[in-house]
Every structure is written in structure tokens, then in C-alpha cells.
């Protein structure tokens, strides 16, 4: 049971909660950051022994105030849309990655196509709402209710144009100067702030280039992805979905979900690798490609991985394909080609 209230004081909220639910050990609050001095009130409730669960669509206000008033007394979780495993679970689809028929694999790939197209928001996955209309409304609410209201922004249309531009090119690279000139904004500083607000509102995910010096990394172009592939489809500018880019977007989200430290990579010869996962002093370059049947495409992907491997002094490059699985030797370097579905379900050792 949910209670929607328009109350002036926090005491009134607690009074109504007790009236409806009685004495409970938990309190659950959604979007409480819209209430003035909420963090002080939550602090008082916690000191009384209540366990508090807070949810919100904007990470910065929650994390900043919690860190200030509840230092050491809270734990933050970022909840992403359904993973592919969770997506399959909603349809009660059971699949053994190690022993399956070709027919069963075909059904799994059909689910993966659908996952790329509609994403992982529960309302969409469960078929309760039309995907495009729902996801457009969802993003508009984040822009115009959460971000604009919280930061009291002046340039409403520019925030919307920026979001549409970035969501329309998953995997694309940008600089703040380029965005300022394209849209146009009055200053690079404003663009930088607006991009940060979109990240904090879980609209876009930005990936930095792997550079040895932090200053160079911050100046380099960033790559952008949607926080959900269904959102990328809902705001797409191309007539047909680019499954290669959607696969790349899904990989970025899965790396984020797993808590990995990852970047994109550009070699000295300007060839690019989609992702480099950094674990300690080790690196793993990962290229994502939907179709490897074309020899020119295959050589381009292999060449980029070889250059990245040599510059990073690593020996475990990986290509995530649609459904191919094999080992390839190119210029003396062994490269693993691995199906995306398998990587999403069981990972890669």
C-alpha cells in the first residue's frame, strides 16, 4: 500500500504512517530529497532505531546529504534495469549454457533480440505499457521534474536537446566543446554541468578514454551510452536499430552492473577498442561486433585488439560476437571470440 501525501511537516508524515501501518521497524521513502531538510529528519528516525530505505531517481542529492548527516550509517545501491538473466527470469525461460539444443539456443537469441530492443525496465518487460511511449515519458519526467526542479535550471530546451542528442548516438564520442558548438550552448562550463546532471539522473552513462595521466583523460573525448537500450531505441534517430551499437551498450551496462573499472581505448595509430577492463595492474581489451562474417570487418577488429594488447602488455583480448565461439590467431596473438549471450549469462574466465 502506497500513501501519497501533501504535508507541510515531517511530524505529519510520521503521524499518518503510524495511523495507517501502526508500529513498524522499517520506513520506506521514495523521492524524499524533494522534502526540505529531509536528511535531518531521517537522521533522527535512525537514531530512534528505525531502519530506513530511501529510493530516488537522482543520485547526487541523496548521496551528498546522506554522506553529510549519516556518515558510516548507510549503504548505497545503484539499481539498474533488468540484466539479461533477470529478463529471462520474468518469462520463466530456463537455459543451460553448457548443454542445450540448437532450437533452445534459437529461442534464447530471440529473447536477446527482444532485450536489446525494449531494454530492462520492469513495466516494459512485463508488457504492461507500450515501450516507446512509456520510456519517452519516463525520461521526460526525469528531465523536467527531477533535474530541472532540483537544479533550478534556466535553459529548459537546451537540457532536452542535449539529452536527445546524446541518447540518439549510443557508443558515440563527444567533447564538451563539440556539444557547445552543435546545440549551441553559451559556455563549455554549462554543457559540462548539464552532462553531469544527465549522468546523475541515470539518463546517460559516460565512459572515459584510458590514459596514463588523469589530466589527459579528462580532456579526451568521452563515449556515451543510454542507461537502458530500450531508451536508446525510443529516442533513436536512425530508421532501423543498429544491433552492434545496442550490443555495445548492453556490455557497458553489464560492466557497470558488475562494478568493473572500464574505459575505451585508442591506440597510437588511432584504432579504437570498445572497452578495456582494468583489474589491478591487468587489462583486458574487449571488442563488440554483431557480424564477423565479413573478412574486412574481422581483420579490422583483430587489428585493433592486437594494437591495444601490445600497448597495454596484455595477452587476453576478447571479441564479443552475436553467437560465434572460437579461437583466432592473428599475427602470432591468440584472440577469443565469445558469444554475447554466454558472456551475459556466465561471464568469461
Q: Which residues is 173 bridged to in the sheet? A: 223
Phi, psi of 108 (to 5 degrees): -65, -45
Q: How far is CA 190 from the centre of its chain?
A: 23
Residue with cell 568493473: 260
Query: Which residue carries 540484466 as its cell?
Result: 83
Q: Let me know: does 90 contact 118? Beta carbons within 8 Å.
A: no
DSSP letter assigned to residue 284: E
Q: What share of the chain is helix, strand, coil (3-state, %, to 5)?
A: 50, 15, 35
Q: Which CA distances in Å does 34 have to 13, 27, 109, 204, 292? A: 14, 17, 42, 22, 49
Q: pLDDT 10s digit of each residue in the chain, 349 long? A: 444 445 556 777 778 778 888 888 788 887 777 677 777 777 778 787 778 888 776 655 556 666 565 666 667 778 899 999 999 999 999 999 989 999 999 999 999 999 999 999 999 999 989 999 999 999 999 998 888 887 888 888 899 999 999 998 889 999 999 999 999 898 999 999 999 999 988 999 999 999 878 777 888 999 999 999 999 999 987 777 899 999 999 999 999 999 999 999 998 888 899 999 999 989 999 999 999 999 999 999 999 999 999 999 998 999 999 999 999 999 888 999 999 999 999 986 5
For the packed helices 38-47 and 59-69, what is the interaxial angle rounded to 10 degrees?
Answer: 50
How far, CA to CA in Å, does 348 sit from each of 69, 188, 284, 320, 339? 41, 40, 11, 10, 10
- This prediction has a pTM of 0.87
Amino acid at each position: 500500500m502506497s500513501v501519497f501525501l501533501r504535508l507541510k511537516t515531517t511530524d505529519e508524515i510520521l503521524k499518518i504512517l503510524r495511523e495507517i501501518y501502526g508500529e513498524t521497524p522499517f520506513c520506506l521513502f521514495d523521492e524524499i530529497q524533494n522534502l526540505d531538510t529531509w536528511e535531518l529528519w531521517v537522521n533522527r528516525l535512525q537514531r530512534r532505531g528505525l531502519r530506513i530505505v530511501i529510493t530516488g531517481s537522482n543520485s547526487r542529492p541523496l548521496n551528498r546529504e546522506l554522506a553529510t548527516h549519516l556518515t558510516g550509517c548507510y549503504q548505497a545501491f545503484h539499481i539498474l534495469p533488468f540484466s539479461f538473466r533477470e529478463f529471462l527470469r520474468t518469462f520463466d525461460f530456463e537455459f543451460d549454457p553448457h548443454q542445450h539444443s540448437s532450437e533452445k539456443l534459437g529461442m534464447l537469441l530471440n529473447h536477446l533480440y527482444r532485450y536489446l530492443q525494449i531494454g530492462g525496465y520492469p513495466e516494459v518487460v512485463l508488457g504492461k505499457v507500450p515501450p516507446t511511449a512509456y520510456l519517452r515519458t519516463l525520461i521526460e519526467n526525469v528531465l523536467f521534474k527531477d533535474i530541472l526542479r532540483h537544479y533550478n535550471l534556466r535553459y529548459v530546451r537546451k537540457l532536452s536537446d542535449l539529452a536527445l542528442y546524446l541518447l540518439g548516438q549510443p557508443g558515440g564520442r563527444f567533447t564538451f566543446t563539440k556539444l557547445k558548438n552543435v546545440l549551441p550552448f553559451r559556455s563549455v562550463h554549462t554543457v559540462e554541468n548539464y552532462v553531469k546532471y544527465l549522468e546523475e539522473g541515470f539518463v546517460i552513462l559516460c565512459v572515459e578514454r584510458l590514459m596514463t595521466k588523469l589530466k589527459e583523460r579528462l580532456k579526451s573525448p568521452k563515449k556515451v551510452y543510454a542507461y537502458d537500450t530500450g531508451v536508446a531505441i525510443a529516442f533513436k534517430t536512425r530508421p532501423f536499430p543498429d544491433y552492434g551499437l545496442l550490443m555495445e551498450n548492453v556490455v557497458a551496462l553489464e560492466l557497470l552492473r558488475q562494478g568493473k573499472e572500464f574505459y575505451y581505448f585508442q591506440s597510437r595509430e588511432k584504432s579504437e577498442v570498445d572497452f578495456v577492463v582494468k583489474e589491478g595492474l591487468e587489462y583486458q581489451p574487449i571488442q563488440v561486433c554483431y557480424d564477423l562474417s565479413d573478412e574486412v570487418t574481422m581483420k579490422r577488429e583483430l587489428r585493433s585488439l592486437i594494437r591495444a594488447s601490445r600497448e597495454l602488455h596484455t595477452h587476453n583480448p576478447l571479441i564479443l560476437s552475436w553467437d560465434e565461439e572460437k579461437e583466432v590467431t592473428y599475427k602470432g596473438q591468440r584472440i577469443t571470440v565469445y558469444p554475447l549471450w554466454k558472456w551475459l549469462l556466465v561471464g568469461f574466465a
